[in-house]
A and B are shown apart, each in its own frame.
Chain A
Amino acid sequence: QSVLTQSPSASGTPGQRVTISCSRGNSDIGSNTINWYRLVPGAAPKLLIYNNDQRPSGVPDRFSGSKSTASASLAISGLQSDDEGDYYCEAWDDSLNSVIFGGGTKLTVV
């Protein structure tokens, strides 16, 4: 069972802006930073956002991250068909002393 909670699915049309959220059930997400990854079949997972809102070089500025005490979000603007895939949030859990992932959100571009 995932310790971080994500909606199982999200969808949008080309050019639209979509947001994927990541929370921690009934409690705040805490002060630890959130990272975001995308998985597509046949390819290695890719880092999209690190430390809540930082974009690695090579990731388009259409991707942005934000975080409050309650939850974290990944926003994708100017949606493209290539953006389809499974998106995961990730954080460090101090009580488990380990990395935790969200359950993943499957993004479909219709």
Chain B
Amino acid sequence: EVHLVQSEVEVKKPGESLKISCKASGYSFTTFWIGWVRQIPGKGLESVGIVDPGDSYTTYSPSFRGRVTISVDKSINTTSLQWSSLRTSDTATYYCVRRPGGVGTYAWFDPWGQGTLVIVSS
């Protein structure tokens, strides 16, 4: 069975750095792209970006380009999302999701990790 396991909660101050991770199991890690999706409390879903674990090629949604970095460590089947300087507006739940089909159409998100709640507050 496919699993994407994320840490649960991270509490940080504005200006601090953060790296959250997502460990995949139950399938060949480099075979499927993985995405990160944000949900601000009380708001809808937004795609952060998606990465090909095979070669680490990453495409970011315009709102997140330059603000976050998505990376991959194939040796431990893990994808990460990191910030160098957090803002209070980064407070949200971040889901990692497998993306069969990768970029373009005829692709979808499944399954989803349980989400990491990131709280940025002074």
Contacts and interface: CB of A to CB of B under 8 A. Distances in A.
Contacts of B109: 35, 37, 45, 47, 90, 99
B112 A51 contact: no
Contacts of B113: 44
Interface string B82-122: 00000000000001010000011111111111110000000
B108 A51 contact: yes
B47 A45 contact: no
Interface stretch (A13-21, A71-79, A100-108): A100-108
Interface residues of A, number: 29
B106 A51 contact: yes
Nearest to B105: A32
Contact of B105 (A47, A92, A96): A92
Contacts of A103: 44
A45 B39 CA distance: 11
Interface residues of B, number: 28
Q: Which of A88, A101, A103 counts the most B-chain CB atoms under 10 A from its CB?
A: A101
Interface in B37-82: 37, 39, 44-47, 49-50, 59-62
Contact of B62 (A31, A33, A90, A98): A98
A91 B60 contact: no
Given A45-B95, A92-B103, A92-B104, A98 B47 contact: yes
B84 to A, nearest CB: 21
A98 B62 CA distance: 8
A97 interface: yes
A96 B95 contact: no
Interface of A: 2, 31-33, 35, 37, 39, 44-47, 50-51, 56, 86, 88, 90-92, 94, 96-104
Given A47-B111, A88-B44, A99-B35, 17 more contacts: A35-B108, A44-B95, A44-B112, A45-B95, A45-B97, A47-B108, A50-B110, A56-B110, A90-B108, A92-B104, A96-B62, A97-B59, A97-B103, A98-B61, A98-B62, A101-B44, A103-B44
